[in-house]
Structure 1
Amino acid sequence: MKRRADILLVDGYNIIGAWPELNQLKEHHQLEDARDRLLDMLADYQGYTGMEVYVIFDAHQVPGRGATYKQHKLTVMFTKEKETADECIERLCHELYSRRYNIYVATSDLVEQHVAFGQGALRLSARELLNEVGHCRAMIRKKVKEDIHSNKRNTVDEIIHVDVWSKLEQMRRGEK
């Protein structure tokens, strides 16, 4: 039997407000920088864990149809007019749970945690997610250090065929 895929739904602005580094950026009128930093951190987390990550930002007071796009491998969503991030997360929980995914919702909004739990999702508080992201970053740094100290290099010459290597070398030297 195939294992259920893991999906993480993140209430973007809730996490920004809860994580000290991001909240400090927000408080200094750098909300866009806080969003970008959150997305960078979650992209590393996604790369390490293999989870599919959706980051939902509340845009219910902004006119329009909302927007969804990919950044790194994250799915970034801005809600449509008159839809809150909580409502969007609830809708996604329902849709994704019926497709047999393991769904985790990252928010410190207690009401949202209970609603998501009622939809079959598992909750992850902002602090728990921050701890997991920090742990993954530490594991990535450790792996990089190990690779550096063991002189393990990921070089192209290990995988390139000798004919291609010769042509590249000729091009580098300016030969035809």
Structure 2
Amino acid sequence: MNVLIVDGYNMIGAWPELQKLKDKDLAQARDLLIEMLAEYQAYKGDRVIVVFDAYHVRGLDSKQKNFKIEVIFTKENETADERIEKLSGELNDVRTQVYVATSDYAEQRTIFARGAFRKSARELYIEVKNIQLEIKKDVELHKSVQNQPKIPINKEIREIFEQWRRGRK
């Protein structure tokens, strides 16, 4: 099983649409990041944990589950980097491969030492965008495939039946 641990504010500072949004509304930027990672998680099936730094916020230490994403706000006097380092060490074992998404160079060196792999903010962004394109293609393909009736029926009659089925005539 793969686990992706994401440095939330690092992604917000690096992804173009989140950068623009954070200046107006940081909470909305966090929510959008979580939604994007939820699509990623649903497509890949990996466990995804997003860590947000609450270092300057008094008394906050929470763990939430949004979609199938685990969202962690660090406790007072704990940085996101510290929590990520701890998680990467705890979760990395023979059956689990841990990836940490961060562009923080010092953090990357630390997670390498704990046996985890890294994904830069740019790499994860490209991967998320590619998955969004794949999902869009799958939806368009699904829409384009029309159910063919087992009994061949003229198109006009099929449309009349469809209107009846929907209660329009």
Contact 2:54–2:60 (CA<8 Å) still a contact in 1?
no
Matching residue of 1:16: 12
Contact 2:54–2:74 (CA<8 Å) still a contact in 1?
yes
Alignment deviations for residues 50-79 of structure 1 (CA, whole Å, 9 cap, x no partner): 010000000011111500010000000000
Alignment deviations for residues 99-138 of structure 1 (CA, whole Å, 9 cap, x no partner): 7410000011011011111111100000000000000000
Instruction: Tell whether 2:19 aligns with 1:27.
Output: no
Distance in 2 of aligned mates of 1:65 and 1:12: 16
1:7 to 3, 8, 20: 3
Q: Max radius of gyration: which structure?
A: 2
| Cα displacement (A) at 1:148 | 0.5
Instruction: Tell whether 2:140 aligns with 1:145.
Output: yes
With normalisation by structure 2, the TM-score equals 0.84
Alignment of 1:81-160 (within 5 A): 81-98=76-93, 100-151=95-146
Matching residue of 1:58: 53
Distance in 2 of aligned mates of 1:61 and 1:23: 20
Instruction: Tell whether 2:35 aligns with 1:36.
Output: no
Taking every aligned residue pair, what percent have the same amino acid on both sides? 50
Unaligned runs of 5+ in 1: 153-176
Matching residue of 2:65: 70
Secondary structure of the residue aligned to 2:58 is coil
Secondary structure of the residue aligned to 2:63 is strand
Unaligned runs of 5+ in 2: 148-169
| RMSD of aligned residue pairs (Cα, Å) | 1.1
When the two structures are aligned, how many residues end up with a matched partner? 147
